[in-house]
Chains A and B, each alone.
Chain A
Amino acid sequence: MQQRYDIAIIGGGVVGCAIARHLSRFDLKIALLEKESDVARGTSSKNSGVVHTGFNVPTGSVKAGLNVRGAAMFEALSEELDVPFNRVGKLVVALTPEEVPDLDKLKAIGDANGVPQLEIVDEQAVKSMEPNIRGVGALHVPTAAITCPYTMTIALAESAAINGADIMLNSGVRRISGEMGSFRITTESGTTHSKLIINSAGLYSDQVARMAGVRRYKVWPCRGEYVIIDKSRSDLMTRMVYPVPPKGGSGLGVHLTPTVDGNILIGPSAEYVKLKTNDATTSATAQVLLEEAKELLPALNPRDAITSYAGIRPKTVSSAQGGFGDFIIEEAPELPGMMHLVGIESPGLTAAPAIAEDMAEWVDEHIGAKPKATFEPGRETPVRFREQTVDVQAQLVDEDPEYGHLVCRCELVTRKEVKAAIHNPLGVRTINGIKYRSRAMMGRCQGGFCSTRIVDMLAQEFDTPLEEISLKGPGSQLFVGSTKDLRKNAD
């Protein structure tokens, strides 16, 4: 790790990692500073994973432009990085005839924003496309897609690292001083010098800006809770299904989103919270989510919910203000050389590749960005055993017996894949890090069978003392030590 960089990116969410990866195509010394023990620990791993087409953002907004550009790049990017991508399509459904005119309004916005192939369909069409969904008509958005947002973020970070970027974890920023050409950034883990800074700190982008003396931004945290449905019910629907956005407080307008792994997500809710760290789930909201989801999908059984989670949107408008808040992507005039990305909520995931391109242009304007002679676009990933036919699975095991050991029974994850996750290029050694990379522990038993085996493997691979094995970094240790040593020493 060097101390002097051309560009320091603050924040390892999907946007920061996308920027790091894109910039790593150029002859630049890049640092990415992330405060948590892994990338994608914030909003980037707690959203719906939707690659939006751009029909539900106001025409002419920054969001709309970046959404449409990003959407056009997403499939190719997923292919390059071996990230799941599935163009399932979306239906925005009217539950009553009174809601049907709203579909036309949405289509009009979509058309104006350049979203292709939009069509209004009738009740019969809804029934034939999605037999389990209630609706009298719908806006069909065939090009809408789903991806895995944390896999994409991790893949972007790994690719950036492969191409020479320094991804620094557990490096929360404390102080920023200096000026363009010679910024000095003090983090929890040391000091970094950089010519330029990109502030992509998500929920904390206002606080990072303030550290540099820029006081013009404010981020309001708005929590969104989700409930996850067991993948044995993936037969219930194929496409994303949204209701027509509710008018003035009548319900949450809960979305049903299939995931690339076969689960169904119900949510998100939207509730302004006081603390940026308050990603707790609540029982009241889970109940509302399930009730509203049942309106759209009567065959849904609450017993099929396997878990719930919450993410926090970085909003640029307060609860009192309400209404639309656009992306803020700008250099503050009082401090050239530092770019601020504030309020990157939905469609931030979709927009990330486009934002990255814009950042490269900005860097080029300031210090010049010369493309490298060699750029490695891909990354090495073990084959996902669970996605293969049984004949391919048999071949895999014959070639490498590590594929023959199933560690996670519910999600069919093999020891080969768990080992690869443990030996990940970013050096993350937390249980959650292994979980998000391998998919183990994410099934219906939520680690009941596999978590002890994963702990064994982690302890073995690195000779890690038990007291150091953590769920998600310092402070979240799983164990206090060995039972018998503690008892012996207690006397």
Chain B
Amino acid sequence: MRTENVDVAVVGGGPAGLAAAAAAREAGAENVLLIERGERLGGILNQCIHDGFGTKMLGEALTGPEYAQIFIARLSDSGVTSSLETMVLDLTPDRELTICSEDGIRRIKAGSVVLCTGCRERTRGAIRIPGTRPAGVFTAGVVQEYMNLRNILVGRKAVILGSGDIGLIMARRLTLEGVKVECVAEILPYPSGLARNIVQCLDDFDIPLYLSTTVVDIHGVDRLQGVTLAQIGPKGGVVRGTKRFIDCDTLLLSVGLIPENELAKKAGIDLSPVTTGPIVDDQFQTSVPGIFCGGNALQVHDLVDYASMESQKAGQSAATFAGAGKLPDQNIDVQPGNGIRYVVPQTLSGEEAVDFSMRVFSPGSDRYVVFRRGDKMVRRMKQTELDPAAMIRVRVRADRFKGSEGPLTVEVTD
């Protein structure tokens, strides 16, 4: 079998992979290969025709395709080789990839690897919505792909389950194309998507949002005829008397994204049970030396800007590793404390500034996010609004880690 050597191999050509590959090249890696399973670069951004991308990184609110195009141009200027319609079949802990395309199956021996494999959508089967199996039940991303890339309309009257951003965006998209969106149902007592999307996708079009509500039955033998909604009580059971039938021919599921880490598992990488992405250090290196990770595969992002930023760092670190450079030792554990669901990275060196990403468990207002190490307060940041749907990013300078010992804890306080 043909074997090739590359300095850095990046798996995934969406916004994370594009940023990682260009950054690796800019950091000095000679031979950088970007591997993408789809027909073109850009990943999920190609179908995200709405705007709001790039406010942090580029200072503008661009549409998905525009944002992708900027990074695709950067990539091609930087001299990275891309292999499209290529699937990675295997990845070993010593960074050997087996890739497959119509040109054949090849082995790639990489100096370092960056995994930017994104997410998949949670399915009907995974949440086991009871009922029959008619046509007309789709995940939101698939409908988005049909509508925005293939000019296909899936139905005329829709119910959306899940108030995550994809569901909200699709509520607007469908309405603009003349589909009647009856409602959005959300099982939690608060919305899962960003406030801007509640305003611009639901309020603008008077689409009702039913909280603490879910789909408890699906009806229709051949094509969807309707769904039964019901309110869910605090213990998770159906509240009596709240079941109601909604006539519709389409059910869109926007019930969560799952980081795609089958390759990481093949390479024996340790995954966090909370994020289900790899556990990483402040260089975005995983538990397997030389394999790095960034983007939605690492943690589900709400802003593509942060996915690109962390992947740039991952790409730079990958270039250093491939060039036999030394990456700082990672001796400080990061521990989520009160109110914090998770923090990335999970370890750090204390020698560099770190941009932390974290999410809270529940909504709140006027609180503080506090970093502590030993009895030293490392950083305290005011957060006017705390929203589980909105990732919190905090930068902590290197000098702040000094003068204390032990793990770094992050918590929410009054």
Footprint of B on A, CB under 8 Å?
Answer: 227-228, 232, 277, 279-283, 286, 305-309, 390-391, 393-394, 397-398, 401-402, 404-406, 409, 412, 444-449, 451-452, 455-456, 466, 470-484, 486-487, 490
Secondary structure at chain B's binding surface: helix, strand, loop or mixed? mixed
Q: Give bound CA distance, A307 to B122, whole Å.
A: 11
Known: A307-B124, A394-B104. 16 other contacts (CB 8 A): A283-B128, A306-B125, A309-B133, A391-B1, A394-B1, A405-B102, A409-B87, A412-B89, A446-B124, A455-B150, A471-B222, A476-B223, A479-B154, A479-B155, A483-B152, A487-B178
| Known A-B contacts A391-B1, A475-B222; A448 and B146 likewise in contact (beta carbons under 8 Å) | no
Complex interface residues of chain B between 135 and 170 (CB less than 8 A to chain A): 135-136, 139, 141-142, 145-147, 149-156
Task: Find chain A residues with CB under 8 A from B145 CB.
Answer: 452
Between A and B, 25 residue pairs with Cβ closer than 8 Å are A280-B131, A280-B218, A286-B128, A286-B130, A307-B128, A308-B128, A390-B1, A393-B89, A393-B100, A397-B100, A401-B102, A404-B105, A405-B101, A445-B121, A446-B126, A448-B121, A452-B146, A455-B146, A474-B222, A478-B154, A481-B153, A482-B151, A483-B152, A483-B177, A486-B178
**Distance between B239 CB and nearest chain A CB, rounded to angstroms:** 15
Complex interface residues of chain B between 321 and 356 (CB less than 8 A to chain A): none
**B131 touching A281, Cβ below 8 Å:** yes
Q: Give bound CA distance, A477 to B134, whole Å.
A: 9
Q: Give bound CA distance, A452 to B259, whole Å.
A: 20
Q: Give bound CA distance, A4 to B344, whole Å.
A: 72
Task: Find chain A residues with CB under 8 A from B124 CB.
Answer: 307, 446
Q: Give bound CA distance, A149 to B153, whole Å.
A: 35
**B103 touching A404, Cβ below 8 Å:** yes
Task: Find chain A residues with CB under 8 A from B134 CB.
Answer: 471, 476
**Distance between A429 CB and nearest chain B CB, rounded to angstroms:** 14
Q: Interface centre among A283, A401, A412, by most B CB within 10 Å?
A: A283
**A479 touching B120, Cβ below 8 Å:** no
> Is B275 on the interface with A (CB-CB < 8 A)?
no
Footprint of A on B, CB under 8 Å?
Answer: 1, 37, 85, 87, 89-90, 98, 100-105, 120-121, 123-126, 128, 130-136, 139, 141-142, 145-147, 149-156, 177-178, 216-218, 221-223, 265
**A404 touching B100, Cβ below 8 Å:** yes
| Known A-B contacts A477-B135, A479-B146, A479-B152; A277 and B126 likewise in contact (beta carbons under 8 Å) | no
Choose from B85, B98, B133, B152 the contact partner of A390 (Cβ within 8 Å). Answer: B98
**B135 touching A483, Cβ below 8 Å:** no
Q: Give bound CA distance, A306 to B151, whole Å.
A: 30
Task: Find chain A residues with CB under 8 A from B130 CB.
Answer: 280-283, 286
**B120 touching A445, Cβ below 8 Å:** yes
Task: Find chain A residues with CB under 8 A from B132 CB.
Answer: 279-280
Task: Find chain B residues with CB under 8 A from A446 CB.
Answer: 123-126
**Distance between A249 CB and nearest chain B CB, rounded to angstroms:** 23
Task: Find chain B residues with CB under 8 A from A404 CB.
Answer: 100-105
Choose from A412, A444, A451, A473 the contact partner of B120 (Cβ within 8 Å). Answer: A444
Q: Give bound CA distance, A446 to B125, whole Å.
A: 8
Choose from A283, A405, A473 the contact partner of B216 (Cβ within 8 Å). Answer: A283
Task: Find chain B residues with CB under 8 A from A279 CB.
Answer: 132-133
Secondary structure at chain A's binding surface: helix, strand, loop or mixed? mixed
Choose from A282, A307, A390, A448 the contact partner of B142 (Cβ within 8 Å). Answer: A448
Q: Give bound CA distance, A474 to B265, whole Å.
A: 42
Q: Give bound CA distance, A111 to B147, whole Å.
A: 61
Q: Give bound CA distance, A277 to B221, whole Å.
A: 8
Q: Give bound CA distance, A393 to B104, whole Å.
A: 9
**B104 touching A397, Cβ below 8 Å:** yes
Q: Give bound CA distance, A60 to B45, whole Å.
A: 65
Task: Find chain A residues with CB under 8 A from B123 CB.
Answer: 306-307, 444-446, 448
**A471 touching B151, Cβ below 8 Å:** no
Task: Find chain A residues with CB under 8 A from B37 CB.
Answer: 406, 409
**A308 touching B85, Cβ below 8 Å:** no
**Distance between B163 CB and nearest chain A CB, rounded to angstroms:** 20
Task: Find chain A residues with CB under 8 A from B103 CB.
Answer: 401, 404
Task: Find chain A residues with CB under 8 A from B136 CB.
Answer: 478
Question: Which residue of chain B has its CB nearest to the CB of A486?
Answer: B153
Q: Give bound CA distance, A455 to B223, whole Å.
A: 17
Choose from A286, A473, A480 the contact partner of B155 (Cβ within 8 Å). Answer: A480
**Distance between B43 CB and nearest chain A CB, rounded to angstroms:** 12
Task: Find chain A residues with CB under 8 A from B90 CB.
Answer: 390
Question: Which residue of chain A has its CB nearest to the CB of B120?
Answer: A445
| Known A-B contacts A280-B130, A393-B100, A394-B105; A471 and B135 likewise in contact (beta carbons under 8 Å) | yes
Closest 5 CB pairs between A and B?
A: A307-B125, A475-B222, A471-B135, A401-B102, A404-B102
Question: Which residue of chain B has its CB nearest to the CB of A478?
Answer: B135
Task: Find chain B residues with CB under 8 A from A480 CB.
Answer: 153-156
Q: Give bound CA distance, A476 to B157, whole Å.
A: 16
Task: Find chain A residues with CB under 8 A from B98 CB.
Answer: 390
Q: Give bound CA distance, A395 to B100, whole Å.
A: 12
**Distance between A232 CB and nearest chain B CB, rounded to angstroms:** 7
Task: Find chain B residues with CB under 8 A from A409 CB.
Answer: 37, 87
**A473 touching B222, Cβ below 8 Å:** yes
Task: Find chain B residues with CB under 8 A from A471 CB.
Answer: 134-135, 222
Q: Give bound CA distance, A282 to B228, whole Å.
A: 13
**B102 touching A397, Cβ below 8 Å:** yes
Choose from B87, B131, B153 the contact partner of A479 (Cβ within 8 Å). Answer: B153
Q: Give bound CA distance, A106 to B43, whole Å.
A: 57
Q: Give bound CA distance, A178 to B181, whole Å.
A: 54
Task: Find chain A residues with CB under 8 A from B104 CB.
Answer: 394, 397-398, 404
Task: Find chain B residues with CB under 8 A from A479 CB.
Answer: 146, 152-155
Q: Give bound CA distance, A412 to B266, whole Å.
A: 15
**B120 touching A452, Cβ below 8 Å:** no
**Distance between B151 CB and nearest chain A CB, rounded to angstroms:** 5
Q: Interface centre among B132, B145, B152, by most A CB within 10 Å?
A: B152
Task: Find chain B residues with CB under 8 A from A452 CB.
Answer: 142, 145-146, 149-150
Task: Find chain A residues with CB under 8 A from B221 CB.
Answer: 277, 475
Q: Give bound CA distance, A12 to B71, whole Å.
A: 54
Q: Give bound CA distance, A277 to B220, whole Å.
A: 11
Task: Find chain B residues with CB under 8 A from A397 CB.
Answer: 100, 102, 104-105
**Distance between B323 CB and nearest chain A CB, rounded to angstroms:** 30
Q: Give bound CA distance, A398 to B223, whole Å.
A: 42
**B135 touching A470, Cβ below 8 Å:** yes
**A305 touching B126, Cβ below 8 Å:** yes
| Known A-B contacts A448-B121, A482-B153, A486-B153; A232 and B265 likewise in contact (beta carbons under 8 Å) | yes
Q: Give bound CA distance, A426 to B354, whole Å.
A: 61
Task: Find chain B residues with CB under 8 A from A451 CB.
Answer: 142
Question: Which residue of chain B has its CB nearest to the CB of A445?
Answer: B120
| Known A-B contacts A277-B221, A281-B131, A452-B142; A483 and B147 likewise in contact (beta carbons under 8 Å) | yes
Task: Find chain B residues with CB under 8 A from A448 CB.
Answer: 120-121, 123, 139, 141-142
Task: Find chain A residues with CB under 8 A from B153 CB.
Answer: 479-483, 486
Q: Give bound CA distance, A281 to B130, whole Å.
A: 5
Question: Which residue of chain B has its CB nearest to the CB of A385?
Answer: B100
**B154 touching A406, Cβ below 8 Å:** no
Q: Give bound CA distance, A412 to B262, whole Å.
A: 12
Q: Give bound CA distance, A228 to B123, whole Å.
A: 13
Task: Find chain B residues with CB under 8 A from A282 CB.
Answer: 130
Task: Find chain A residues with CB under 8 A from B126 CB.
Answer: 305-307, 444, 446
Q: Give bound CA distance, A95 to B258, whole Å.
A: 36
Question: Which residue of chain A has its CB nearest to the CB of B221?
Answer: A277
Choose from A232, A390, A402 the contact partner of B89 (Cβ within 8 Å). Answer: A390
**A405 touching B85, Cβ below 8 Å:** yes
